[in-house]
Amino acid sequence: MRVGTRLGRPLPPDDVLGLSDEVRTLARRTQDSASEIDSMIAQLQAAADDQSHLSRQISDLAERIRELSDLSNQDAGALNSMSQNSIKLAQRLQDISR
């Protein structure tokens, strides 16, 4: 029994050896390509993880900025109130000194 046929004809032994070499070469290239694809997927996953981490950091930073803005607004309100009270106190002291 012949090992295989190409286009319906029996393969000579030399062609069988050549075909075997081609199959091994294709198998090796396929394995190399699969390894390269696995590496690319790992890089994409790492980049996605980095992006997710960066996104969380930006979100945390934005929240801190909002908190600081709120505190700043509260401080501004308190300073305004203190300023108005100081003006009233100065006016009362002037009224008393007259």
Q: What is the pLDDT of residues 2-47, one digit of tens each?
A: 444 545 666 666 777 778 888 999 999 999 999 999 999 999 999 9
Q: How many CA atoms lie within 13 A of 43 on its CB side?
A: 6
The reply to whether 25 falls in a domain is yes
The reply to whether 22 falls in a domain is yes
- Mean pLDDT, rounded, of the chain: 87
The reply to whether 37 falls in a domain is yes
The answer to whether 11 touches 3, Cβ cutoff 8 Å, is yes
Longest pairwise C-alpha distance within the chain: 130
The reply to whether 2 falls in a domain is no
Q: Please tell me the distance from the alpha carbon of residue 14 to that of residue 6, in angstroms, as a whole number.
A: 13
Q: What does pTM read for this prediction?
A: 0.53
For residue 82, what pLDDT is reported?
92
**What's the structural domain count of the chain?**
1
Q: Which residues contact 3 (CB under 8 A, 6 or more apart)?
A: 11, 16
Alpha-carbon dihedral 40, 43, 49, 55, rounded to 10 degrees: -100
